[in-house]
Structure 1
Amino acid sequence: MGRKLGGLAGLLFGTIAWASTSHAEQIDRSQIQTLIREYILGNPQIIEEALTQVRLRAQKAEAEAKSAALIAERAALLESKGDIVMGNPNGDVSLVEFFDFNCGYCKRAAPDVTALLAGDPKLRVVLKDLPILGPGSVEAAKVGLAVKEVAGEARAVEFHKRLIDFRGRIDGSRAIEVAGELGIDTQRLKSVAASKEIEALISKNLDLAQRLGVTGTPSFVVGDQLLVGAVGQMPLGEAIRATRK
């Protein structure tokens, strides 16, 4: 803490020590309170210093709790069956992105992820559907997850890029239309997208996000770090390098 807080502590302990000596009969509780009150009124900035210290401690505790949660959920983050993986499947660092096809900030962040992949042959990117922006997002997410099962990982990556690049509202019908343009069997796709297995994958992602405190998209996880929003290529790159170290 600052000098003023240190001064207050010194005043308090000094007063108590003095009261414990032969002068104890000359001072009572009200006098101690008066001395402290006068000190605070004469140095009001110590209140701000104390509040700042409390806030910093709370922020540190929150950050430590989030890091611990990310480590505890490592398998769920990196090894979920339904996730789409881009880049090097055996990469030494994984960048996990929670996204929503209707999220404008996810669309803004997409070129950053693409640039990181292009410049880093050891990077693995894991895409997690987190449809939080309405029923259309849920429908599109179901189709996206079904594409992987019906047509494989490579086609799922292509589908993902097409929808993320799309300007406008996306729902199930639009997602099916894009899949058809890619030559995917839309009838089978509709059947798989409506299955309980796909619904369970989405629920699993929503539950994981809640446990990690992820409330918005995009949110990125690298090692024990959580970065929220379209933070840009540089912060993501720095997190990746820190994880490698």
Structure 2
Amino acid sequence: MQAGVIQGPVPQGIAWRILQGIAVAGLGLAIAMATQANAAEPEQSQPATAEFEQRVKDYILSNPEIVVQAIQLYQAQQQVQKEERVKAIIGQSSAQLLADPEAPVGGNPEGDVTVVEFFDYNCTYCKKVAPVMSALEQQDTELRIVYKEFPILGPVSEYAARAALAADAQGKYLELHNAMMNSSGRLSEALILGYAADLGLDIDRLKTDMQAEAISAQFARNRALARSLGITGTPGFVIGAEIIGGAADQATFENLIARARQNP
């Protein structure tokens, strides 16, 4: 990902205020250039701080492109630092992300790249990205998908997540997951149980298994993990050493998967 670029001239009236708001590195660049511009002047007594700052300000107002350069430098540095922080957090959380024995797995369980998805069955954007995830799974036989139930949109969302995880005990997690994710509109308890019945699940057993403490514990782990990764909404994805918040198109996912494959 590249740092953003500000295009066009910077209005002189706000140039100094913009520069004051950016990193010390950017200001250092401006001061260095201003000092260089005045290096040919005969040596004089040390000017007062206010006078020196005014000289810097005047130089920048005469050369506003320095502000653009400084902001670009600052943004690039911030992006690198952000990427390093994300890599560190993902590395520290790798066991929970990739190897939680309670987390359902789709795609190729032995795949070389894992996509971890945090989702809510009543999330509109999760449903929009569901066909993309299915297409990726079908076309990439080395893709592994870890499903992190993250019900944040109310009691029915939690009911749906509990039903899906309880269905896993009957070997039908993915079937119920797909049925609910591909449904139109908001789910209801009756609709969820209807999908389960259509899939041949034992409903009485399902209802009992939905109350398991292990499911509550899994929700707690997923919430803590999402918080540590800075994921506050759905959907959220972790692919390799990168985090993506929100829905994205198939090409974006393909690029992220390719990068993860190149940098295992």
TM-score normalised over the length of structure 1: 0.85
Deviation of 1:48 (Å): 4.5
> CA separation in 2, counterparts of 1:243 and 1:44?
40
Deviation of 1:18 (Å): 7.2
Alignment-derived partner of residue 45 in structure 2 = 24
Q: Give a deviation string over 1:28-82, Cα, whole Å, max 9, x none.
A: 4443233223223333443454344333322321222112211221111111233
What does residue range 65-144 of structure 1 map to in structure 2 within 5 Å? 65-144=85-164
Alignment-derived partner of residue 199 in structure 2 = 182
Q: Do the aligned residues in 2 keep the contact of 1:5 with 1:49 (CA within 8 Å)?
A: no
Aligned-partner residue type, residue 74 of structure 2: V
Deviation of 1:209 (Å): 0.5
> CA separation in 1, counterparts of 2:227 and 2:144?
23
> In the alignment, is residue 221 of structure 1 matched against residue 238 of structure 2?
yes
Going from structure 1 to structure 2, the CA distance change for 1:13 and 1:80 (only over 3 Å counts) comes to same
Q: Do the aligned residues in 1 keep the contact of 2:30 with 2:56 (CA within 8 Å)?
A: no
Deviation of 1:7 (Å): 6.0
> In the alignment, is residue 9 of structure 1 matched against residue 32 of structure 2?
yes
> CA separation in 2, counterparts of 1:6 and 1:199?
53
Alignment-derived partner of residue 11 in structure 2 = none
Could you say what secondary structure the match of 1:167 adopts?
Answer: coil
Alignment-derived partner of residue 174 in structure 2 = 157
Gaps of 5+ in 1: none
Going from structure 1 to structure 2, the CA distance change for 1:30 and 1:70 (only over 3 Å counts) comes to closer
Instruction: Please tell me the root mean square deviation across aligned C-alpha atoms, in Å.
Output: 2.7
> CA separation in 2, counterparts of 1:193 and 1:157?
16
Could you say what secondary structure the match of 2:144 adopts?
Answer: strand
Greater helix fraction, Structure 1 or Structure 2: 1
Going from structure 1 to structure 2, the CA distance change for 1:34 and 1:229 (only over 3 Å counts) comes to closer
Alignment-derived partner of residue 61 in structure 2 = 41
Going from structure 1 to structure 2, the CA distance change for 1:121 and 1:10 (only over 3 Å counts) comes to closer
Could you say what secondary structure the match of 1:183 adopts?
Answer: coil
Gaps of 5+ in 2: 1-26
> CA separation in 1, counterparts of 2:50 and 2:126?
60
Could you say what secondary structure the match of 1:24 adopts?
Answer: coil
> In the alignment, is residue 234 of structure 1 matched against residue 251 of structure 2?
yes
Q: Do the aligned residues in 2 keep the contact of 1:131 with 1:141 (CA within 8 Å)?
A: yes
TM-score normalised over the length of structure 2: 0.80
Q: Give a deviation string over 1:94-123, Cα, whole Å, max 9, x none.
A: 111111111111111111111111112221
Going from structure 1 to structure 2, the CA distance change for 1:164 and 1:28 (only over 3 Å counts) comes to closer
Could you say what secondary structure the match of 1:132 adopts?
Answer: coil
> CA separation in 1, counterparts of 2:97 and 2:30?
49
Could you say what secondary structure the match of 1:97 adopts?
Answer: strand
Count residues in correspondence.
238
Could you say what secondary structure the match of 1:91 adopts?
Answer: coil
Alignment-derived partner of residue 204 in structure 1 = 221
> CA separation in 2, counterparts of 1:202 and 1:50?
44
